[in-house]
């Protein structure tokens, strides 16, 4: 009986895992994007200039024109270029921008809303209360590179403040643990302070004499704990970029020689480097590099700079660790 249960459990596990695999996968050659199937057969020639992959490697949007479902292979017209995803009440919504407007849409119920502004990027910042509990989310909608609108995390991305701000006029406030508990904007010659509920709590006139490289004067810094009602409050960094580590191990790909027997190319490790080799031509060699492809999540990819190429190899979505790249483009080298 135990054996039967174990077998059924194993079968169920395989079924669940197989449901996660993608039927088709994007690839890049000569800086253009196309599609291959799970056996590396080319389905779409590399003709698109850009691709955005989102919803946990489920969809790929090409040039703001077309969206492919990587699990089923179906396609549909895109609302524009994919910008971000946002979860609202356990449902995932996606934001797109065309030449004039931005839209938010739900891939399940197909409901779409046009937003009041066009955004090139959305950033989400978690705010915490005095107990270090998650309280609300501040959304920054970038209309231009340095021009930002402050928004609520709702289905309309409602503006918190009607005015637009240059990013240098916005700063976060952190507690002792480094969690963000509020934010401050410079507006009409005043510091305007907001708390973790996105509510305005105080205004202070900006001194005429202030260091052009500093957001606050030392006096304002000393008053932050009182303004936010905690023992330790300090200026954060609203403009700091997060650094990603993309130095993962590629050893699982070395099995591609066994799993991709129909192909002439395989992967080999030479010292610290990973090389694409040919089974019969000992002179053929292409060095490859781990790459970071990040939208909603980090997706594992391989760059081949010599031919301006890239292919994905993330085992969560791809059945075998084979080289999912059309071999004919290797031949052209």
Least confident range of 12-26, 51-65, 142-156, 203-217: 12-26
pLDDT above 80: residue 202: yes
Q: What is the pLDDT of residues 15-48, one digit of tens each?
A: 344 457 899 999 999 999 999 998 889 999 999 9
Q: Are 156 and 147 in contact (CB under 8 A)?
A: no
DSSP one-letter string for 44-75: EEEEES-EEEETTTTEEEETTTEEEETTT--E
Q: Is the pLDDT of residue 6 over 70?
A: no
Q: What is the pLDDT of residues 293-311, one digit of tens each?
A: 765 667 888 888 889 999 9
Q: Please state, for a pLDDT cut of 70, what percent of the chain lies above it.
A: 84
What is d(CA 179, CA 190) in angstroms, rounded to the nearest whole number?
24
Say if residue 235's pLDDT is above 80: yes
Q: Give CA–CA dist 82/103, Å, rounded.
A: 10
Distance CA 25, CA 31 (A): 16
DSSP string, 80-114: SEEEEEEEETTEEEEEEE-SS-EEEEETTT--EEE
Q: E strand or H helix at 274, and its extent? A: strand 273-278
Confidence of residue 282 (pLDDT cuts 50, 70, 90): confident
- Please give the mean pLDDT across all residues of the chain: 84
Whether 320 contacts 260, CB under 8 Å: yes
Residue 121 in this model has a pLDDT that exceeds 70 = yes
243, two tokens? 């650094």
pLDDT for 249 beyond 80: no
Residues in CB range of 235: below 8 A, 6 or more apart: 171, 172, 173, 174, 215, 216, 221, 224
């Amino acid at each position: 009986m135990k054996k039967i249960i174990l077998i059924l459990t194993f079968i169920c596990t395989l079924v669940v895992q197989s449901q996660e695999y993608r039927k088709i996968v994007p690839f890049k050659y000569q800086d253009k994007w196309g599609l291959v199937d799970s056996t590396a057969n080319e389905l779409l020639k590399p003709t698109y200039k850009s691709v955005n992959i989102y919803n946990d490697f489920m969809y790929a949007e090409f040039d703001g024109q077309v969206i492919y479902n990587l699990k089923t292979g179906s396609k549909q017209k895109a609302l524009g270029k994919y910008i971000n995803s946002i979860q609202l009440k356990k449902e995932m919504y996606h934001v797109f921008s065309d030449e004039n407007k931005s839209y938010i849409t739900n891939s399940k119920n197909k409901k779409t809303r046009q937003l009041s502004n066009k955004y090139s990027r959305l950033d989400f910042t978690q705010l915490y209360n005095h107990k270090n509990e998650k309280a609300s989310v501040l959304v920054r909608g970038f209309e231009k590179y340095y021009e930002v609108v402050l928004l609520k995390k709702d289905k309309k991305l409602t503006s918190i403040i009607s005015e637009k701000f240059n990013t240098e006029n916005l700063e976060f406030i952190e507690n002792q643990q480094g969690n963000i508990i509020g934010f401050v904007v410079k507006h009409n010659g005043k510091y305007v302070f907001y708390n973790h509920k996105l509510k305005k709590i105080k205004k202070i006139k900006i001194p005429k004499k202030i260091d052009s490289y500093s957001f606050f004067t030392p006096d304002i810094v000393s008053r932050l704990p009182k303004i936010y009602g905690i023992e330790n409050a300090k200026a954060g960094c609203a403009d700091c970029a997060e650094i990603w580590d993309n130095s993962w191990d590629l050893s699982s790909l070395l099995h591609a020689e066994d799993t991709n027997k129909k192909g002439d190319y395989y992967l080999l490790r030479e010292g610290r480097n990973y090389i694409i080799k040919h089974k019969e031509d000992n002179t053929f060699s292409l060095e490859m590099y781990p790459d970071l492809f990040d939208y909603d999540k980090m997706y594992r990819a391989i760059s081949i700079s010599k031919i301006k190429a890239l292919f994905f190899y993330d085992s969560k979505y791809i059945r075998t660790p084979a080289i999912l790249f059309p071999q004919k483009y290797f031949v052209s080298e």
